[in-house]
Amino acid sequence: MTAEIIVVTSGKGGVGKTTTSASLATGLAIQGKKVAVIDFDVGLRNLDLIMGCERRVVYDFVNVVHGEATLKQALIKDKRYETLYVLAASQTRDKDALTQEGVEKVLQGLSDEGFDYVVCDSPAGIEKGAHLAMYFADHAVVVVNPEVSSVRDSDRILGLLASKTRRAEKGEDAIKQHLLLTRYNPARVAVGEMLSVKDVEDILGINVVGVIPESENVLAASNSGVPVILDENSYAGQAYSDTVARLLGEERPLRFLEVQKKGFFQRVFGG
Partner 1 sequence: MGILDFLKRRPEPSAVVAKERLRIIVAQERSTRGAPDYLPLLRNELLEVIKKYVHVDIEAININVERDSGHEILELSVALPENAKPGTTAPAAG
How would you classify residue 231: left for phi > 0, otherwise alpha for psi between -120 and 50, otherwise beta? beta
155 lines the binding site for partner 1 (CB under 8 A): yes
143 lines the binding site for partner 1 (CB under 8 A): no
193 lines the binding site for partner 1 (CB under 8 A): yes
159 lines the binding site for partner 1 (CB under 8 A): yes
Rank residues 191 and 268 by Cβ distance to partner 1 and give the closer one: 191
Angle at the Cα of 9 from the Cα atoms of 194 and 1, rounded to 5 degrees: 145
Q: Which residues have CB under 8 Å from 3's CB, separation 6+?
A: 107, 110, 111, 115, 116, 117, 118
171 lines the binding site for partner 1 (CB under 8 A): no
Query: Strand 84-87 and strand 76-77: pairing?
Result: antiparallel
15 lines the binding site for partner 1 (CB under 8 A): no
Please select the residue that binds partner 1; options are 68, 172, 202, 258, rule is CB under 8 A: 202
Report in angstroms how near the CB of residue 148 gets to partner 1 at its nearest: 5
Distance CA 185, CA 127 (A): 30
Rounded to 10°, the helix 17-30/216-224 angle is: 80
Please select the residue that binds partner 1; options are 72, 79, 148, 262, rule is CB under 8 A: 148
Distance CA 197, CA 182 (A): 10
Rank residues 107 and 204 by Cβ distance to partner 1 and give the closer one: 204
Distance CA 264, CA 99 (A): 57
Amino acid in the structure at residue 178: H
Near partner 1 by CB under 8 A, which window of 126-134, 135-143, 192-200, 223-231? 192-200
Chain centroid, CA 76 distance in Å: 18
Please select the residue that binds partner 1; options are 151, 175, 180, 212, rule is CB under 8 A: 151
Rank residues 56 and 152 by Cβ distance to partner 1 and give the closer one: 152
Chain centroid, CA 87 distance in Å: 14
201 lines the binding site for partner 1 (CB under 8 A): no
Please select the residue that binds partner 1; options are 55, 101, 173, 192, rule is CB under 8 A: 192
196 lines the binding site for partner 1 (CB under 8 A): yes
Total of residues contacting partner 1 (CB under 8 A): 19
Residues that bind partner 1 (CB under 8 A): 147-148, 151-152, 155-156, 159, 163, 189, 191-196, 199, 202-204
